[in-house]
């Protein structure tokens, strides 16, 4: 799970802003490699903000921190993340955080609520955690994303996946056959996926409660999805 306490450790950055070139080289290895697959706005950051981002990532390894401005492939950057929780800052927002300790504390305090929010969503709607489990057979909260624009305004994105009852029954039948025959050809599995967008936790919960899965089109399950499709 997320080491929420570490979200405040990054403030040590303000107390000591001198790091050797050797340490900078070592910390650069900690920067998440997935940010390089699709171009982000990370290269727009000042050296001061880049250093702050490195510390932020190192102290909170369970989060994926992405820098994206208008015109960037936001969805692509989020989709390529391999973390359960993703936080997207605009370059201007991160620059402000790197220069204003009080402001940074406020933002990081909001970020750490992602864990509580995820738990509440799963509990309230009976969803399953997509991460850390091996048998997802219902509706799962695949990813929770927080995005902050230049003005600090937050937008939430909840990526949901659901396997249809028909496919669920077929998987169970195939697993039973495998237990008897030991070998069974894999079949295509279809799931439903959608992303819910909101500007507050309350709005997110309301939109999820109103979600009509019958209007979501089925698609073929792929390796990146969180369902156990092994038979």
* pLDDT digit string, tens, across residues 200-222: 889 999 999 999 998 999 888 77
**In the predicted structure, residue 66 carries a pLDDT above the cut 70:** yes
The two tokens of residue 1 are 């799970």
Does the pTM of the predicted model rise above 0.85? no
pLDDT at 34: 45
Segment 85-113 mean pLDDT: 95
Q: Which of 30-44, 45-59, 132-146 has the highest mean pLDDT?
A: 45-59
Which H or E run includes 209? helix 201-209
DSSP-derived letter for residue 74 is H
Poorest-pLDDT segment among 19-28, 93-102, 103-112, 165-174: 19-28
Query: CB neighbours of 36 closer than 8 A, spacing ≥ 6?
Result: none
Band (pLDDT 50/70/90 cuts) for residue 190 is: confident
Poorest-pLDDT segment among 3-17, 27-41, 100-114, 124-138: 3-17
Would residue 182 be called left, alpha or beta, if left means φ above 0 and alpha means ψ between -120 and 50 degrees? left
**In the predicted structure, residue 5 carries a pLDDT above the cut 50:** no
Query: CB neighbours of 176 closer than 8 A, spacing ≥ 6?
Result: none
Residues 130-165 have pLDDT tens digits of: 665 545 557 888 889 999 999 999 999 999 988 766
Segment 95-114 mean pLDDT: 94
Range 200-204 contact pairs with CB under 8 angstroms and sequence separation of 24 or more: 200/154, 200/156, 201/113, 201/117, 201/120, 201/156, 203/156, 204/117, 204/121, 204/156, 204/158
- The residue ranking higher by pLDDT, 206 or 24, is 206
- The residue ranking higher by pLDDT, 197 or 223, is 197
């Amino acid at each position: 799970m997320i080491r929420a306490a570490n979200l405040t450790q990054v403030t040590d950055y303000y107390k000591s802003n001198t790091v050797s070139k050797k340490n900078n080289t070592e910390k650069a290895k900690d920067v998440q490699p997935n940010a390089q697959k699709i171009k982000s706005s990370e290269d727009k950051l000042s050296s001061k903000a880049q250093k702050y981002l490195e510390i932020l990532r190192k102290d909170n390894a369970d989060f994926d921190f992405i820098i994206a401005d208008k015109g960037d492939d936001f969805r692509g950057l989020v989709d390529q993340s391999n973390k359960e929780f993703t936080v997207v800052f605009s370059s201007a927002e991160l620059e402000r955080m790197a220069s204003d300790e009080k402001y940074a504390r406020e933002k990081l305090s909001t970020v750490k609520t992602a864990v509580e929010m995820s738990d509440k969503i799963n509990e309230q709607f009976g969803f399953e955690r997509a991460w850390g489990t091996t048998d997802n057979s219902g509706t799962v909260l695949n990813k929770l994303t927080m995005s902050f624009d230049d003005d600090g305004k937050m937008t939430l994105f909840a990526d949901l996946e659901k396997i249809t009852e028909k496919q669920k029954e077929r998987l169970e039948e195939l697993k039973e056959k495998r237990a008897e025959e030991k070998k069974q050809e894999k079949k295509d599995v279809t799931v439903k996926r959608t992303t819910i967008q909101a500007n507050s936790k309350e709005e997110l919960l309301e939109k999820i409660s109103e979600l009509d899965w019958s209007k979501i089109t089925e698609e073929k399950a792929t390796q990146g999805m969180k369902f156990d499709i092994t038979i």
